[in-house]
Structure 1
Amino acid sequence: MTELRSVEFAGVDLEALAGAEGRVAVLIPAEGTLSPGARRLNRLTKGAVARAVESEGWSGLKPGEVLTLAWPAGMAAEAVDLVKLERRPTRAEARKAGAALAVAAGKSALCVLAENTRFPEELALGLVLRGYAFTARKSAPAETPAGATVQCKTPEEAAEAYADRRAVAEGVFFTRDLVSEPTNVLGTVEFANRLEALRELGVEVEVLDEDRMAELGMGALLGVGMGSAMPSKLVIMRWKGGEGAPLALIGKGVVFDTGGISLKPAQGMEDMTMDMGGAGVVSGVMKTLALRQAKANVVGLVGLVENMPSDRAQRPGDIVTSMKGDTIEVINTDAEGRLVLADVMWHAQAAEGPAAMVDLATLTGACIIALGHENAAVFSNDDGFAGDFLKSAASEGEGAWRLPLGQAYDDQLKSQKADMKNVGGRPAGSITAAQFLQRFVKDGMPWIHLDIAGVAQVSKDTELSPKGATGWGVMALDRLVRDRFESKE
């Protein structure tokens, strides 16, 4: 797994600043008032800090952005970074500041003068998350960023708070690594193996093979993987940290999606290594819960398949029988994720008896047309549950927007030959996909469907991640578990 930048918290030591190597950062509010640490840096740099905060360059910065003084005279450091941040920032502002420092610092060692500023642990989280780089498939040895020291008023409290945030960061990194891997490395077998390694953290892991899934009647899932030489698998991860019925998290794990016989265009097909993004998020959440010893019962289920064309592949026009017993006419073999999720969702309800259920999938291109790369689409049959998730996502800075469900959309799935079709035509494609999934939700089961097609992997840098896999959803779902499902005792 990609290593996180190490972060330590220490008391404020102004005497050590002159000899500090790497980079030194200090937090300064917009009006330019200098803290004791900033005043010490100003003396060491012969007034350069004060001149910088009086400049137009400083006034033009937004909160959380950085102005750099390179190779300051009177110091051993290669740079002094001035971060525009109020003494009492929001958590999001503190993370943004940490992320900006990660970009400025690169691989260099970093000393951050947080002093009395609130949320130093959130600044550290932003620093770590934005410092991610997937280098596992490069021939040169990976270079982990040098360590960072955050000097603050209460280092023991900050270190304790950061231990919890670090668990979240490790879950995000795990997800990003899984989504970034090529399929010739991370096929269904290797994916399952990596999830089995979570046993070392106390997660119960069960892997169902094709024979067992056939016994259970999972014809929808197994039909998707028929064309591939890779065996389809269902991995079940149970974290038993609380009491009562678990929250079920279900992830689509299509390790590569050619579209099957309904073949995708060649352009952009290389990005379909990320079509297991939903399974990646579920895996990252389960790792986070185990690392922070969450007082909650959560079960994660991921259906792992590869969608390939071959002489054995599922064809348009085939009719498959789901575990529920409903028959599905396969109109388009490239609408395969919903077939996988249908059987996994039904198995989750039948075998795990969850209190509520969330599924995640890079499901539809229509979602990207509707919401771009800023928000995941949220669908739900329960207003309270949906509201709790949207609140969790907002508090963690992960964009999410609720879209409707309705009978008229469901009617688009009618089939003359089977109980339903797997597609409903071009209009409202992400909504009809959600309607398809709702048919596999039992009455009374609170359920959320998250279409993460636009946010799982992006082509430009975001605030907390470089371009590529984002790990979207790990923080929001961890927050949902904390606020709604975790014991408060």
Structure 2
Amino acid sequence: MTITINYKNKSSKKNSENIIFFVDEKYNISSLKNHILRAEYSLISDLIKTRDLKKKILSFDLSSKKKIILVSLKNNFTSSDTENLGAEFYDLVKNFKQNEFSLNSDTISGKLMKHVGYFLHGLKLKSYKFDKYKTKKNNKVITILVIGKHKPSLKDQVKFNSIEEGTFYTRDLVSEPGNVLHPDEYAKRINSLKKYGLKINIYDEKKLKKLGMNTLLGVGQGSIRGSYLVTMEWNGLKNKSKPLAFVGKGVCFDTGGISLKPAKFMEDMTYDMAGSAVVVGLMKSLALRKAKVNAVGVVGLVENMPGGNAQRPGDIVKSYSGKTVEILNTDAEGRLVLADALTYTEEKFKPKFIIDLATLTGAIIVSLGSEYAGLFSNDDKLSNQLINAGENVEEKVWRMPLNRNFDKLIDSKNADMQNINYVGGAGSTTAAQFLQRFILNKTPWAHLDIAGMAFSKYGGALNSGGATGYGVRLLNKLIEDNYE
């Protein structure tokens, strides 16, 4: 099912058979008098007395062909509250026989006038479905005509649309099966984003070997597919100010390698590239809305397979940074991909900050479930900006500890470090502590472990289950509030 939103300047009592109005939390409908017929107003006044006014949305059948839907807003509603209400409206309207609705923005007032856009944004985000491989699709199209003087501005329409496009692109990438979205195909799809004004560079295995990115290459060497580092640059400022950098883990399928995962739920490992998908979706969104910022996205794309040439437990590899790593467990592979990507990003682009995203550890799910991403950082200012942005869009993060006392858990007797903590405990922290060693020049850095957030079996407020697109809206908000 598809949601289409159109805009019209003037409202009329004859605009549509089905009309959506905003009212206050007490369902005071006096503002409707100028927008519906007197007989309809009287009927709704009577019917509303029989309804549960604790509900946020009420629907009235005025005839077999006409509905009037009332959406109640509280004065203290945040933008996220209104987005969630839009998502709730989608769950209601998708079951209606009617396909066309007019949303009258003239019945909203005061500080809530800008919330029409958030309502529609939540509606669109909740409508996402990944049905590409279904032979029978729901081809229903619901059209919403937005009328009245309180429509979102053209600038806001572009902003919301770009965030939706970026989020949906991320969800699409995460939803694709591993036999389709392997590293070779993934690199091609990213390259196609050039048409939006992004500068794309693809480093294949030959180039990566020359650069010395052996921790990244080691993860993918058991696969018949290639391994890649892909950079995406958006230059939205005329000056050459330092860019904001976003780095993503792109393990397109993770068997665990020689340290093979259990068969149960291994099919979910198609989403082990979700961190990279967030970076790609974010960069697409920034380009679509012509963001006034310089930004770079860097993703490492590999497939972790137990082939005849696969990396072995006990191998020692030299990273791009020059530091050596002893591989004790080939299923702790994401940090190896990120290690080279982080150092390269810092050295090549000299950014204001680096934020990396990865479905890195199961331990973070034990700690925070599916409510918060784990935040690890060397910078209080960046951490607070991420926390505030997360609260504003309900893509929350929770700061976890980093401390040099954890270093002893990843020090190796045979190399500079080992890729897991064999003592046990603090699995997410020691993984982050490992990554921090590859930030060489004290660049402000934050690591988001999104293992519990990237995919949802049961769905959430703004998604219906499956890939969530978590992170695109969070990072967009971070940029919008602090760097534009």
- Please state how far the C-alpha of 1:396 moved relative to its aligned partner: 1.5
Q: Deviations over 1:425-484 (max 9, x none)?
A: 430111111000000012320000000000001111211111111111101111112222
Gaps of 5+ in 2: none
Give the conservation status (yes or no) of the 8 Å contact 1:281–1:473: yes
Q: Do the aligned partners of residues 141 and 466 (structure 1) sit closer, same or farther apart at CA in structure 2, a change above 3 Å counting?
A: closer
- CA distance in 1 between counterparts of 2:35 and 2:86 reads 22
1:46 offset after TM fit, Å?
7.1
Structure 1 residues 351 and 463, CA, compared in 2 at 3 Å: closer, same or farther?
same
Match in the other structure for 2:289: 292
Q: Once the two structures are superposed, what CA deviation does each residue of 1:41-80 show, in whole Å capped at 9, x if it has no partner? A: 5855575533454346222x2xxx32333xx233623x43
Q: How far is 1:149 from its partner?
A: 1.6
Taking the aligned partners of 1:266 and 1:145, their CA distance within structure 2 comes to 39
The 2-side partners of 1:274 and 1:48 are apart by: 51
Contact 2:246 2:296 in 1 (8 A): yes
Change beyond 3 A, Cα 1:88–1:431: closer
Alignment of 1:6-405 (within 5 A): 6-11=4-9, 13-16=11-14, 19-20=16-17, 23-37=18-32, 45=40, 47=42, 49-55=44-50, 57-59=52-54, 61=55, 65-69=56-60, 72-74=61-63, 76-77=65-66, 79-86=67-74, 89-106=77-94, 108-117=99-108, 118=113, 119-140=115-136, 143=139, 145-155=141-151, 157-242=152-237, 243=239, 244-405=241-402
Judge conservation of contact 1:317–1:329 (CA < 8 Å) in 2.
yes
Change (3 A) 1:182 1:168: same
- Residue equivalent to 1:454: 452
**C-alpha contact (below 8 Å) 2:249/2:275 kept by paired residues:** yes
CA distance 1:300–1:148, shift in 2 (3 Å): same
Which amino acid is 1:195 matched to?
I
Q: Secondary structure at the match of 2:105?
A: strand
Q: Does the 8 Å CA contact 1:120/1:152 hold for their aligned counterparts? A: no
Report the Cα offset of residue 160 of structure 1.
Answer: 3.5
Structure 2 vs 1, CA of residues 471 and 238 (structure 1 numbering), >3 Å: closer, same or farther?
Answer: same
Change (3 A) 1:384 1:203: same
What is the TM-score with the length of structure 2 in the denominator? 0.93
Task: Please state whether the residue corresponding to 1:5 is helix, strand or coil.
Answer: strand
The C-alpha deviation readout for 1:187-215, integer Å capped at 9, x for no partner, is 11111111111110100001000010011
SS across alignment from 2:363: helix
| 1:376-397 C-alpha deviation (Å, 9 max, x unpaired) | 1111000011111111111122
Paired AA for residue 186 in structure 2: F
Assess if the C-alpha contact under 8 Å between 1:374 and 1:399 holds in 2.
yes
> Could you tell me the percent identity over the aligned residues?
40
Tell me: CA distance 1:413–1:295, structure 2 relative to 1, closer, same or farther (3 Å).
same
Quick one: distance in 1 between partners of 2:231 and 2:474? Answer: 21
* Alpha-carbon contact 2:13-2:37 (below 8 Å) kept: no
SS of equivalent to 2:443:
coil
Cα separation, partners in 2 of 1:240 and 1:370, compared to 1, 3 Å = same
- Structure 1: gaps (5+ residues): none
Q: Is the 8 A contact 1:232 1:306 kept in 2?
A: yes
After TM superposition, the runs of 4+ consecutive aligned structure 1 residues lying more than 6 A away are none
Residue identity in the other structure for 2:141: P
Instruction: Please state whether the residue corresponding to 2:153 is helix, strand or coil.
Output: helix
Residues matched between the structures, number: 473
